[in-house]
């Protein structure tokens, strides 16, 4: 008993054309003989799938099938040879999808296509300073690339001539050959898939339509860019092949490490050493900012190493906004070095006079340690 065409494709009666086509393509890709060499069962299944699709994709044939079933096409009525197999158009759809996927493309080329092809995209790595990222800057760069040939205006043909349609494939870029039940498609050897041939190639570009050249470009970098920011310059990539559109140029930004500041998003960090005297008695210090100015920071008495102070709106700008982040100042108390004997004696006397009550952190720490040692000796 012949299987129902709807069951063959795995769709419900009443399914729309798009659903039927999707089901057909999925199954045809699965059972295609090129994917199942020497598998007679797969080949037979492929024939059944193709026959079912040929009937159900056609509104008139489908209406006849829904009313009379397989009898509507008995003895060649209505379906003919195509109803018993698959037509050239349906096979072409599968062929283009199948082989296009294998070759990394989205499908075959259409008949009469142009030999022009889009140029490749290019990448350029650009390193800038943190100050440039803060203010924004215009950088002049040199990019080695290919540009459209001036002598032939990018056509690849010598002046006075032009590319001609390939006589072998009639501009399709591919040639189909029938081999029994199947049709084999291959790239046209005459034009290498371009669809056009050049009988008199340009002497400057040798028929390529483009030449190698170093280009100078100005790149505008907005304020607030971050590490890894990508800037796209449309049409500034490699020139197209034989008059095709140019590719794009992508600028990948990296930010040079700064000797004073560190950045995290829009927040800027700065480590500032202060003297033991300033940390003890308090005072006022000045710190640099990325904007090029100075900011005053009030240091309270008894400031310890690691204390942070926040300077509002002194950080990095948010890109394309008037909003600025904050700047964090982290204090390091500097211990005096290279003291004279008299200075050391003065400090020792001061230490004896101050005692433990003026050193709460160290007094508390060593009290905990003493307790730990006592527990270990018990």
> What does the pLDDT look like over 38-77, one tens digit per residue?
888 888 888 888 888 888 888 888 887 887 777 766 544 4
CB atoms under 10 Å from CB of 193, counted, come to 18
Residue 202's nearest CA partner among 164, 246, 161 is: 161
Domain covering 261-334, topology: HSP40/DNAj peptide-binding domain (2.60.260)
Q: What is the CA radius of gyration of the chain?
A: 39
Question: pLDDT value at position 36?
Answer: 83
**Residues 236 and 249: beta-carbon distance below 8 Å:** yes
Q: Burial-class residue 59 by CB neighbours within 10 Å (0-12, 13-18, 19+).
A: exposed
* 205 is known to lie in a ligand binding site: yes
In order of 49, 93, 97, the CA distances from 86 in angstroms are 9, 11, 16
CB atoms under 10 Å from CB of 319, counted, come to 15
Q: Burial-class residue 238 by CB neighbours within 10 Å (0-12, 13-18, 19+).
A: buried
Superfamily name and number for 116-159+206-257: Urease metallochaperone UreE, N-terminal domain (2.60.260.20)
Q: Where in the chain is the domain with CATH 1.10.287.110?
A: 5-102
Residues pairing with 317 in the sheet: 324
**Residues 109 and 190: beta-carbon distance below 8 Å:** no
Tell me the per-residue pLDDT of 217-231, one tens digit each, with 9 for 90 and over.
Answer: 999 999 999 999 999
Q: Quick one: CATH architecture of 5-102?
A: Orthogonal Bundle (1.10)
* 4 is known to lie in a ligand binding site: no
Phi-psi map region of 180: left, alpha, beta (phi>0 left; psi -120 to 50 alpha): left
Strands 122-128 and 249-255, by their bridges, are parallel
Distance, CA of 82 to CA of 85 (rounded, Å): 5
| 17-31 and 40-56 helices, crossing angle to 10° | 170
Distance, CA of 101 to CA of 139 (rounded, Å): 41
Question: pLDDT value at position 4?
Answer: 87
Question: pLDDT value at position 166?
Answer: 82
Q: Where in the chain is the domain with CATH 2.60.260.20?
A: 116-159+206-257, 261-334
Distance, CA of 99 to CA of 360 (rounded, Å): 78
Residue ranges for the chain with pLDDT beneath 70: 1-2, 72-116, 179-181, 192, 242-243, 355-378
Residue 248's nearest CA partner among 217, 211, 205, 207 is: 217
* 270 is known to lie in a ligand binding site: no
Distance, CA of 32 to CA of 333 (rounded, Å): 76
* 202 is known to lie in a ligand binding site: yes
């Amino acid at each position: 008993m012949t299987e129902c065409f709807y069951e063959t494709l795995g769709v419900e009666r009443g399914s729309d054309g798009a659903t039927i086509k999707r089901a057909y393509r999925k199954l045809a890709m699965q059972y295609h003989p090129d994917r199942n060499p020497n598998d007679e069962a797969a080949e037979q299944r492929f024939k059944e799938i193709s026959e079912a699709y040929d009937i159900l994709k056609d509104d008139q044939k489908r209406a006849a099938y829904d009313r009379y079933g397989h009898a509507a096409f008995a003895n060649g009525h209505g379906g003919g040879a195509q109803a018993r197999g698959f037509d050239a158009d349906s096979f072409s759809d599968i062929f283009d999808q199948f082989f296009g996927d294998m070759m990394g493309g989205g499908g075959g080329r259409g008949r009469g296509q142009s030999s022009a092809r889009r140029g490749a995209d290019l990448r350029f790595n650009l390193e800038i300073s943190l100050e440039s990222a803060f203010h924004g800057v215009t950088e002049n760069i040199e990019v080695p690339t290919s540009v459209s040939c001036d002598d032939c205006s990018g056509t690849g043909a010598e002046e006075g001539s032009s590319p001609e349609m390939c006589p072998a494939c009639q501009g399709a870029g591919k040639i189909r050959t029938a081999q029994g039940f199947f049709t084999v498609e291959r790239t046209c050897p005459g034009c290498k898939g371009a669809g056009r041939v050049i009988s008199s190639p340009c002497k400057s570009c040798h028929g390529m339509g483009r030449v190698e050249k170093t280009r100078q470009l100005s790149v505008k970098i907005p304020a607030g860019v971050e590490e890894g920011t990508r800037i796209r310059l449309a049409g500034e990539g490699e020139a197209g092949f034989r008059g095709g559109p140019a590719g794009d140029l992508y600028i990948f930004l990296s930010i040079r490490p700064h000797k004073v500041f560190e950045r995290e998003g829009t927040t800027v960090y700065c480590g500032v050493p202060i003297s033991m005297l300033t940390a003890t008695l308090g005072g006022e210090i000045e710190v640099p900012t990325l904007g090029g100015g100075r900011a005053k920071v009030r240091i309270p008495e008894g400031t310890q190493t690691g204390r942070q102070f926040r300077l509002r709106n002194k950080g990095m700008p948010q890109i394309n906004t008037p909003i600025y982040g904050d700047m964090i100042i982290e204090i390091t108390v500097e211990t005096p070095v290279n003291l004279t004997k008299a200075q050391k004696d003065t400090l020792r006397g001061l230490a004896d006079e101050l005692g433990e009550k003026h050193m709460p952190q160290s007094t508390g720490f060593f009290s905990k340690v003493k307790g730990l040692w006592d527990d270990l000796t018990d």
